[in-house]
A = this chain, B = another copy of it.
Amino acid sequence: MPSEFDIIRQYFTLPVIGSVRTDVELGIGDDAAILSVPEGHHLVQSVDTLILGVHFPAETSAEDIAYKALAVNLSDMAAMGAEPAWFALAITLPDDNEKWLKAFSKSLSMLAKQYNVQLIGGDTTNGPLSISITINGFVQKNKALRRNSAQATDKIYVSGTIGDAALALAAWQEQCLLRDESVPYLQQRLNRPQARVELGLVLREYASSCIDISDGLIADLGHIIDSSDVGARITFDDIPLSNEFKLNLTDEALIIPLVLAGGDDYELCFTIPVAKQIAFEKIIKENNILVSCIGEIESQQGIRCIKADKEIELHESGYQHFTHS
């Protein structure tokens, strides 16, 4: 196995992973990075870890692992309405695999460039595969989106479509079969979630609360209502489903848990005060972003999910991460 220094130098230092940003005073190569946060802004920081066998199966490609590890962190920035800027990577590798590292770092850099973020620090250790990324972004002071400020009568929205990642995971776990032509789209939704950063930036002017859907719609909406001390009513048939999802699943007994409790979509769930709803819908249409209104915040605690005038019984459990059976 090459030494830690060799690995860092070869794959993570030169060329720079991601964009070369002018606010990076000093990147990788010293005891720490030196960074400039713009005046009048807060620093927004989050850390997320992906573990082999917990967050992705062993056969996941190096490219997909890199993509997802960064994307889920970018998604946290989106959920805060923050502009992502820099990230640090703590990677634990089981053995010397140059081919894997090359593919991993290339994929990481491509996604980082797409979002204009730069790798500014890292630690490489030897052990079972895990990737921990700390993402940094900024937001104008007091403009960050939080979970704790949803109010009764606010409208509840989600971005994109819900349940695709959970369906891909269910198929991978052999709980259901997919049509061959649907596999690429659904696997992409599981392995390469789209961080809704652009939407997050728009939401700063409109949303009263926001979260990304990593644990499942009910679980994550649950975090909003718990933090905000309110409740919610959603209409199941208003939850946006992709054509691929609908094509592959027709059994309601399967659809409902995947949509309500399936995680890993990394769409945003947010609330818009009624007074801002028209202006919000207008700007969303102008920017060609897909969002759907699925319900309303209520003062009565708890979540009520209505389907054809009946209330679906909700379970306490959120999303359970993939685990090898």
Which of A48-56, A185-193, A232-240 sits within the interface?
Answer: A48-56
A286 contacts B by Cβ under 8 Å: no
Q: A128's closest neighbor in chain B, by CB?
A: B128
List, in ascending order, chain B residues with CB within 8 A of A80's CB: 30-32, 34
Q: In the complex where A42-B36, A48-B123 touch, is A90 in contact with B90 (Cβ < 8 A)?
A: yes
Is the Cβ of B121 less than 8 Å from the Cβ of A132? no
Q: How far is the CA of A237 from the CA of B135 in the complex (A)?
A: 45
Q: How close is A70's CB to chain B, nearest CB, in angstroms?
A: 14
State how many residues of chain A have any CB contact under 8 Å with chain B: 58
Partner of A32, one of B25, B51, B79: B79
Q: A25's closest neighbor in chain B, by CB?
A: B42
Taken residue by residue from 72 to 88, chain A's Cβ proximity to chain B (1 for < 8 Å, 0 otherwise) reads as 00001101101000101
Partner of A45, one of B29, B88, B148: B88
Which residues does A use to contact B, with CB under 8 Å? Answer: 25-26, 29-37, 39, 42-49, 51-55, 76-77, 79-80, 82, 86, 88-90, 92, 120-123, 125-128, 130, 132, 134-137, 139, 144, 146-148, 210-212, 227
